[in-house]
Structure 1
Amino acid sequence: MRIGYGIFGKAFEVMLRNDLHALESIDHEFLSQMILVDEESKELLYGTSPQISYDVINHELFEFAQRFKGDNELNTIRNVLNFTSNIAMNYDVNFLDMTFGGRERDIIERGTDWCADMARVGCVLLQCNNIPTRIVHIVDTEKAYHGHVVGEAFFEGGYGVCDFIFGVIGYDKSPISAWQMSVNRNLVTKCYTRDYTSYSTTNKFEGLFSKVAINEYNIMDKNNNFTESKPNDYTTRIITEDHNNWFMGEDM
């Protein structure tokens, strides 16, 4: 299996190693341990029905998470997606003033539209409702700096993509996983954002599913490091400068 920063190629490895989260944080741990989904790993990652093996009742957001419980798992997921995407849609903080990482409670309190942070929030809220959920990294290897972080929730016997920023659930009569979207891009067109815009036209998500990687997230692990960080010079250049290629030589 292919694991770690370099699974998407050299240029993306440079980008991910320069991720603005604190190097010691769980966010960098995810990047260093993510598993590429391919023919070799898909049975491991999709071949069994997951169970949450730890007691989430002691998580600091457990009681808060119960407000999102619906009459079935699908509606619980939709409630969480509405909550997280509302935060993202109403977030209005200059990039240079943003804070990244931290505990999920802190992320909710300060707000964010940063996908990796919100994916952790979504994982926690769903796991606290006994819905197994994990972190998913997607990239478009044909475009520089094109990556996104979402989740996958297990319900109705399968994994479905959960984009906690755009309020999207991968579902068309049954869950649609990130792996399914990567091998059949037409499945992306079956998903819609919370305002009913086609997910396929939002930042051209078909391309973003060219490669997929996964992290399981044990939200109760006492070793999880939630160090916060501020924007670094590398990511600031990506955000603030015009470019349509690897303009800092990452692919050289």
Structure 2
Amino acid sequence: MSSEGFQHVKVGDIDIAYVESGQGEPLVLLHGGESHRGQFDAFRPLLGAGILAISFDQRDTGDTLNGPEPYDIVRQAADCADFLAALGFERAHVMGVSYGGAIAMHLAIHYPQRVASLILSGATPSWTMTESFGDRIVAMGPDARAQFVLDLLLTPEGQANDPQLVADTKRALRGRPVDADARRMTAIQNHDCTARLHEITAPTLVLHGAEDPIVRAQVAELMASEIPGARLVILPRTRHGITFEAREQAARLARDFVLSHAVGTVSTGNGG
């Protein structure tokens, strides 16, 4: 977990831990399934001036506190909508990575008034469109699991040539208790909004790694074709870990997209 200080806000039945940096257009960063808010520690500063970057721990993650009740992705989208309201934002830009992309899509579908623009990174509209590694991952020990996930996120070249990249990526991965893992896995396995992609009205940018072994690039092409007006960017020589291995390019694309759809919601947030 990041050593950076974090804040808490009560949202319905959960207590959400979050961090924020910068000032300007609010951009909520939704982390992946194996990660936590610290996934974006090296990414947020690259967004530059004019953006208030916010990342929070989802249910069963990091320092967020929730009960043992099961939930689905729609419930987590509601968490995000309520989180924005708790911080005083009527609307915000939303970037969802992998699992976080599923939450972001459901947020845009069920709470369109909350989403100023949408960025999907390594996302899929349905669990059925992923290469299934879930059962294998859950059965692995912590070290084997971390390396397996690392290989899905980063190219061999990235791992060999950039020790800091590997360290940053490993730091972003966090183990969970078995019951928490099971709740999150059940939620994502039941995710499917394919038939509703056409309902997304927010300006949308789809970012995807050309060599993503979890969600193939053809899935990104499908999403971009179904979401009205969506822009598609396929990043070469990149796997599932776009915000790690291609973080400078991804941050630049995200920044430009957010500022091109600015809503004038300039704030330092109400949580701190």
- With normalisation by structure 2, the TM-score equals 0.27
TM-score by length of 1: 0.29
Q: Quick check: which one's strand share is greater?
A: 2
